[in-house]
Amino acid sequence: MNYKLINLDIKGDRRGKLISLEGNQNVPFDIKRVYYIFDTLPDEERGKHAHKNLEQIIIAIDGACQMVLDDGKKQEKVWLNTPEKGLYIGKNMWREMRHFSYGCKLMVLASDHYNPEEYIRDYDEFLKEVNG
Ligand code: T46
């Protein structure tokens, strides 16, 4: 499975906590794009696609959601519920996002600019791509 949960290093003191994310340091790629997802709804699912080459780190800055990760052979579920962990997802991984808590906010760091051509949005096509 081409994903991992990364424990982010926390700079904390009595004033609160701070996490710094740096390309090619604690983020394992050059960061070319940042986007965030907010005003999510518990009954609405997102994702349902894979990327041919894109690498990303997803962080639940606030609230929680469930990520379903699928490499075409097996499926695993991960809860994102703390800003202290980042979910790295590499290429050729089908992902779905569901069970958003009200007010959940996700921040996503991406290894490349937005390119809709690079998405695989059809699950059967994804299976062909990864399983041949
Ligand atoms: C991913 C998951 C975690 C842009 O114009 N620029 C962008 O950089 C992105 C990411 C999206 N968009 C447009 C395309 C759609 O019209 O924003 C709209 C919503 O995008 P999408 O339906 O792809 O959103 P999600 O939440 O299903 O997926 C997103 C990312 O697209 C995807 O790469 O891994 O978040």
Which domains are delineated in the chain?
Answer: 3-8+26-131 (2.60.120.10)
pLDDT tens-digit series, residues 5-28: 999 999 989 999 999 999 999 999
3-state helix, strand, coil in the chain (%, to 5): 10, 50, 45
pTM above 0.75, yes or no: yes
Residues involved in catalysis: 49
**Distance in Å, CA 96 to ligand 1 centroid:** 12
**Residue 81 · residue 94 · CB < 8 Å:** no
Q: Give residues with Cβ within 8 angstroms of 99, minimum separation 6.
A: 42, 64, 65, 66
Secondary structure of residue 131 in the 3-state scheme = helix
Q: What is the pLDDT, as a whole number, of residue 15?
A: 97
Q: Is 68 in the pocket of ligand 1 (CB under 6 A)?
A: no
Q: Is 47 in the pocket of ligand 1 (CB under 6 A)?
A: yes
Assign 111 a pLDDT band (cuts: 50, 70, 90).
very high
Total residue count of the chain as it appears in this document: 132
Distance of CA 86 to the CA centre of its chain: 8
Q: Is 58 in the pocket of ligand 1 (CB under 6 A)?
A: yes
**Distance in Å, CA 119 to ligand 1 centroid:** 10
pLDDT tens-digit series, residues 58-85: 999 999 999 999 999 999 999 999 999 9
What does the alpha-carbon distance between residue 90 and residue 111 come to, in Å, rounded to a whole number?
10
End-to-end CA distance of the chain: 17
**Distance in Å, CA 65 to ligand 1 centroid:** 16
Q: Is 46 in the pocket of ligand 1 (CB under 6 A)?
A: yes
